[in-house]
Amino acid sequence: MKFGGSSLKDPERIRNVAAIVQKEEETGPVAVVLSAMQGITDSLIGAAKSAEAGDPSYRSNLSDMRERVLKTATELVGRGEVTESLEVMLDELEEILHGIELVRECSPRSLDLVQSFGERMNCTVVAALLSAEGSPAVMTDARELVRTDDNHLSANVDFEITYRQIEEKLGSYEAAGEIPVITGFIGSTNEGVTTTLGRNGSDYSASIMGAGLRAEAIEIWTDVDGVMSADPRIVPNAFVVPEVSFEEAMELSYFGAKVIHPYTMIPAVDRTIPVWIRNTLNPEAPGTRIAKDAAKSEKPITGIASIDGAALINVQGGGMVGMPGVASKVFSIMAECKANIIMISQASSEHSICMVLRESETERALHALREGLREEVRAKKIQNFELIRDLEIVSIIGDKMRGTPGISGRLFKSLGDNEINVLAIAQGSSERNISFVVQTAQREDTLKTVHQAFLE
């Protein structure tokens, strides 16, 4: 069972989490994975950055954090052993930040160490609370379980060693009837240096633990009822999807249904363990089950996902026709300037290549393209670079679309009937996703129209 920051933001929520864990424990052994309390990771990063800049405000930032952490712990388990060990951690953190201030340098390696305090402090508190409430629990530092490389800030997991360490070290807790309360997000290298799995990486940690333990289920407890058929803030008729396949979940999470970190599926798929999305604020709700054998939805698609803040770059020119290598040059330039292409389409006339990316990366990309393709422009092989801003990528997703004729017909007819203009279209041969681009101004209409056409 993994609980995220918003489920752990104050003493009341933490008590609620403990109650959910205790209830589950009645039916069989449980391992718990936690992220930091809401806002703590951001504060830690903020403090490290201020210290690096020589800005003494990190000290007040740190004392606010100290107050919040100690107050929460005192409220939950009183003063004593727990608050003392938190004080020790906070003192160490202060020394590290002071070191960063002195050398005016915060390397990714140092930042990983700083970030690790959020999860470590939180697990210390929650393990003590569970124990105090009669469910013996042990704070478990994932640095002893998750082995990674030294790619700090988003380290890569060595699964062989990690699975072995989980089996060896967590097996004994089950035998002793204790609940391990494991730090999400963090790991360590074979030299024992602290690493992190990337922001919001605790979901991934939970899935790694679940797979390592060959658990019956991996439960990601968050603050929504499950995977929604569309963004409920925009589509009031959106509903919780009861079952989705691993592939659908990956597509949905990548395309903006941000209930779960996309990497979470990797270990779960690896050992075929179902992943549940559950709501800590509504534990009675069944949630969404993500599994290999997910029941196929009765509707033609499973869900709609969207990404806003997109922009489109069109590289146009007659000289690209029948000339191998131009596309590869365009994509290399994009890679070199670290502009991430979200969607691509090229018509068979080969007269233009259309790329959709985040608005914030377009300036850089356009500049790099102009520089890198100067020769081609001079030779008039490429005529121009068109930029269109304020766009939204919308995707319909579902395993059932595969091999079912008529879905795209229905999609574009519904858009046409509602006067929604489509700027670009892409469908991969997996046929699990049809993506298209519209203007941001038409986003609400688009999502409602498509939801109605397929899901209502």
Type of residue at 86? L
Q: Is 201 in the site for ligand ASP (CB under 6 A)?
A: yes
CA dist., res. 451 & res. 237, Å (int): 8
260 or 393: CB nearest ligand ASP = 260
Q: H helices within 213-350, ranges in order?
A: 246-254, 265-270, 326-336
- Among Mg ion, ligand ASP, none, residue 362 binds (CB under 5-8 Å by kind): none
CA dist., res. 372 & res. 196, Å (int): 35
Q: Is 202 in the site for ligand ASP (CB under 6 A)?
A: yes
Q: Is 122 in the site for ligand ASP (CB under 6 A)?
A: no
Candidate segments 31-39, 111-119, 323-331, 412-420, binder of Mg ion by CB under 5 A: 31-39
The pattern of x and - marking residues 5 through 44 that bind ligand ASP according to CB under 6 A reads: x-----------------------------xx----x---
Q: Is 118 in the site for Mg ion (CB under 5 A)?
A: no
Number of H helices, E strands in the chain: 14, 16
CA dist., res. 383 & res. 379, Å (int): 9
- Among Mg ion, ligand ASP, none, residue 199 binds (CB under 5-8 Å by kind): ligand ASP
Among residues 178, 172, 432, 122, which one has the least CA distance to residue 305?
432
Q: Sign (positive/negative) of CA torsion 323, 325, 331, 336?
A: negative
Q: Is 124 in the site for ligand ASP (CB under 6 A)?
A: no
219 or 243: CB nearest Mg ion = 219
Burial 244-270 (b: 16+ CB within 10 A, else e): bbbbbbbbbbbbbbebbbbbbbbbbbe
44 or 394: CB nearest ligand ASP = 44
For ligand ASP, how many residues bind (rule: CB under 6 A)?
Answer: 12
Q: Is 279 in the site for Mg ion (CB under 5 A)?
A: no
Q: Count CA within 13 A, CB hemisphere, residue 273.
A: 23
Q: Is 185 in the site for ligand ASP (CB under 6 A)?
A: yes
- Among ligand ASP, Mg ion, none, residue 442 binds (CB under 5-8 Å by kind): none
User: Minimum Å distance from CB 261 to Mg ion?
Assistant: 9
Written as one string, the DSSP assignment of 174-188 is: HHHT-EEEEESSEEE
CB 68 within 8 A of CB 38: no
CA dist., res. 435 & res. 455, Å (int): 17
The pattern of x and - marking residues 336 through 365 that bind ligand ASP according to CB under 6 A reads: ------------------------------
- Among ligand ASP, Mg ion, none, residue 185 binds (CB under 5-8 Å by kind): ligand ASP
One residue of 17, 20, 34, 35 binding Mg ion per CB under 5 A: 35
41 or 188: CB nearest ligand ASP = 41
- The continuous run of DSSP H or E covering 49 comes out as helix 40-52
For residue 428, give every residue at least 6 positions away whose Cβ sits within 8 Å of its Cβ, in sequence order, or none: none
User: Minimum Å distance from CB 223 to Mg ion?
Assistant: 11
User: Minimum Å distance from CB 285 to ligand ASP?
Assistant: 22
- Among Mg ion, ligand ASP, none, residue 155 binds (CB under 5-8 Å by kind): none
Q: What is the distance, to the nearest Å, from the Cα of residue 343 to the centroid of all Cα atoms in its chain?
A: 19
User: Minimum Å distance from CB 102 to ligand ASP?
Assistant: 26
For residue 46, give every residue at least 6 positions away whose Cβ sits within 8 Å of its Cβ, in sequence order, or none: 58, 61
One residue of 2, 5, 20, 148 binding Mg ion per CB under 5 A: 5
- Among Mg ion, ligand ASP, none, residue 36 binds (CB under 5-8 Å by kind): ligand ASP
Binding to Mg ion (CB under 5 A) within 385-444 occurs at none
Among residues 230, 175, 184, 178, which one has the least CA distance to residue 36?
184
The pattern of x and - marking residues 192 through 211 that bind Mg ion according to CB under 5 A reads: --------x-----------
Binding site for ligand ASP (CB under 6 A): 4-5, 35-36, 41, 118, 184-185, 199-202
